Amino acid sequence: MEPERAVASSGPPGDGGAEASRGMAGAATMTKVVVAVDASEESLHALSWALDHVVRHHPGASLVVVHAQHPADHFVYPVAAHGLAYIPPTAMESMKKTQEENTRKVVARALEVCAQRQVTAKATVVEGDPKEAICQAVEDMHADLLVLGSRGLGMIKRALLGSVSDYLAHHASCPVLIVKPPKAHTKGTGNST
């Protein structure tokens, strides 16, 4: 899908490499913004922030909400803040159903936040390790910008605190915008990353 050439180029369009000369991929407009969401409040806040501060500024941009779902055959789940428990295969079915339900809820909530600001967004669900899956999705979609909350993008919060955003900041194929939780929540808990 070619982004529309906003600038009228004088002369024959034979030089396909004209855009490459600038070193920037695509036209000056931001055509695709991808926001990674999960069940956490932080990611929803990141979505709202992106809508208010970035998407508003680029009316032509399309927004895609991405949710990374842990693979269904993931047979451990977190207990409390940092425990792990193994579940028997018999409970897999119900866990899978619960997971799909959660995914639906997360996506629905995210799309609602977009709709509240009159932005139509698409949603994509990817499976697998969140950081790699999101990284791959961003590349496949040729995103211009990836937006993340700064923490809480994994179920095992303590162990993975911030590692998804770190990974994506270094590996994503486009610029990454990391939104901090609103100030009221950061200080006072002593949980600095």
Partner 1 sequence: MAEEAGASAAPVGGDGKMTMVVGVDESEHSYYALQWTLLHFFSPGQVQLYRLVVVTAKPTAASAVGLAGPGAADVLPMVEADLKRSSLRVIGKAKELCAQVSDAVFEVVEGDARNVLCEAVERHHAEMLVVGNHGYGAIKRAVLGSVSDYCTHHAHCTVMIVKKPKHKH
Interface with partner 1 by CB under 8 A: which range of 75-83, 97-105, 120-128, 178-186? 178-186
Interface with partner 1 by CB under 8 A: which range of 53-61, 73-81, 104-112, 113-121? 53-61
Among 93, 175, 185, 191, which residue interacts with partner 1 (rule: CB under 8 A)?
175
Interface with partner 1 by CB under 8 A: which range of 22-30, 66-74, 92-100, 103-111? 22-30
Residue 26 token pair: 């695509």
In whole angstroms, how close is the CB of 4 to partner 1 at the nearest point? 14
Position 53 contacts partner 1 (CB under 8 A): yes
CA distance 74 to 129: 10
- Please name the helix (run of DSSP H) or strand (run of DSSP E) that holds residue 123, with its range, or none: strand 121-127
Among 32, 37, 48, 49, which residue interacts with partner 1 (rule: CB under 8 A)?
49
Position 126 contacts partner 1 (CB under 8 A): no
Residue 135 neighbours by CB under 8 Å, 6+ apart: 167, 168, 171, 172, 173
Position 177 contacts partner 1 (CB under 8 A): yes
Residue 138 neighbours by CB under 8 Å, 6+ apart: 34, 66, 146, 168, 172, 173, 174
Among 12, 14, 16, 57, which residue interacts with partner 1 (rule: CB under 8 A)?
57
How is 92-103 classified by DSSP, letter by letter? HHHHHHHHHHHH
Interface with partner 1 by CB under 8 A: which range of 27-35, 68-76, 89-97, 102-110? 27-35
For strands 76-79 and 83-86, give the pairing: antiparallel
Residue 2 neighbours by CB under 8 Å, 6+ apart: none
Position 165 contacts partner 1 (CB under 8 A): yes
For strands 32-37 and 145-149, give the pairing: parallel
Exposed (0-12), middle (13-18) or buried (19+): which is 192, by Cβ within 10 Å?
exposed
Count interface residues toward partner 1 (CB under 8 A). Answer: 31
Q: Indicate the residue among 10 and 192 with the shorter CB distance to partner 1.
A: 192
Residues in touch with partner 1 (CB under 8 A): 20, 23-25, 28-30, 49, 53, 56-58, 144, 150, 162, 165-166, 169-170, 172-173, 175-180, 183, 186, 192-193
